[in-house]
Structure 1
Amino acid sequence: MPRVRTKVDGVTYEDEVEPRLLLVHYLRERLGKVGTPVGCDTTNCGACTVLMDGLSVKSCSVLAVQADGHEITTVEGLGRGGELHPMQRAFHEEHALQCGYCTPGMIMAAIDLLRENPDPSDAEIRRGLEGNLCRCTGYQNIVRAVRRAAAEMRAGGDADAPAVPRPEAEVTP
């Protein structure tokens, strides 16, 4: 079996994995990162979006072996010192979720959008979140949350640092 070494939320893991194991299943089943939901398994919904080397990817379309040597950030790895990331906080404060199933993917896609464009218009936010579906909201509060987080991140200088640097740790099962 192939061996992978990847950093997830600041912790380095080494594991043997089946060649066809999807990253979403590796994160959830092997590493316990259940904040990344399995949505459609077809890349249509975006619920499983994570950051790979700072760029959003749908983890149901990436094999765990493809993550070898890369840094993955999940929604669980965003907060700092017990505090929510500005995007997480904005989603909460702007009521940008109802059932919450799509929320992790929306947050991760929005963070990548702000990396590229720290001051997007509403239309640019909507375009940037295409491919991330929400069945419960009308997207209005989601757009408002991204706008709010963008302003906070620009004011706090966090626009280029969506992931949290964590102490290096090694985990080898």
Structure 2
Amino acid sequence: MLAGCGGGGDAGAGTAALVTVGQSVETPAVGSSKGQAVFPGLPRSGHFVIIENGVIDAWEGKNINTVIYDYYALIQRVRDEGRIPVLTGFSHQALGGELNYFNLRFRDFYDTIVQAVAINTSTTFADWGRVPFYGAFDLIDFVHPNRNYSNRLIGRLAMTLDPLTTNCTDILVPPG
């Protein structure tokens, strides 16, 4: 699995890809085709596409209608490619650095919107907001998870993906 704040890519075994909404959905400009999601530089071999959410949209107060549109467009594009989208919720951050109380409240509001999008589109949702969080102790810099918190987030993602893999074949174990 890949984690972090970047453009993403396919996981080691080629079974999942990680994309971030802010970097993966191109908001249509005048004259462009609406809803065209792009995956810059990503190979299309992953069966599952983990759509990691960029909390920066929340902190900056990005128009909520644009955020919702981006999610719907990205989910539809993934499905059009015959792959399974999986949304993650937002991880937590702590008060400090450049983050104030309102930034943290926006995180909660936008996280609720992402959950609603997952429900409305019947998309699997890895609820990172429910992962135990111990404040600034779990972070490197008020924003980014340290190894312990990151491992708990990855654990939640793995538990979310596990039921989706019931039809997968384990090619590493010979039959019989």
Normalised by the length of structure 1, the TM-score is 0.28
Q: Which has the higher contact order (CA 8 A, sep 6+)?
A: 1
Higher normalized strand content (fraction of residues): 1
Instruction: Report the structure number with the largest CA radius of gyration.
Output: 2
TM-score (norm 2): 0.27
From the two aligned structures, give the one with the greater helix fraction.
Answer: 2
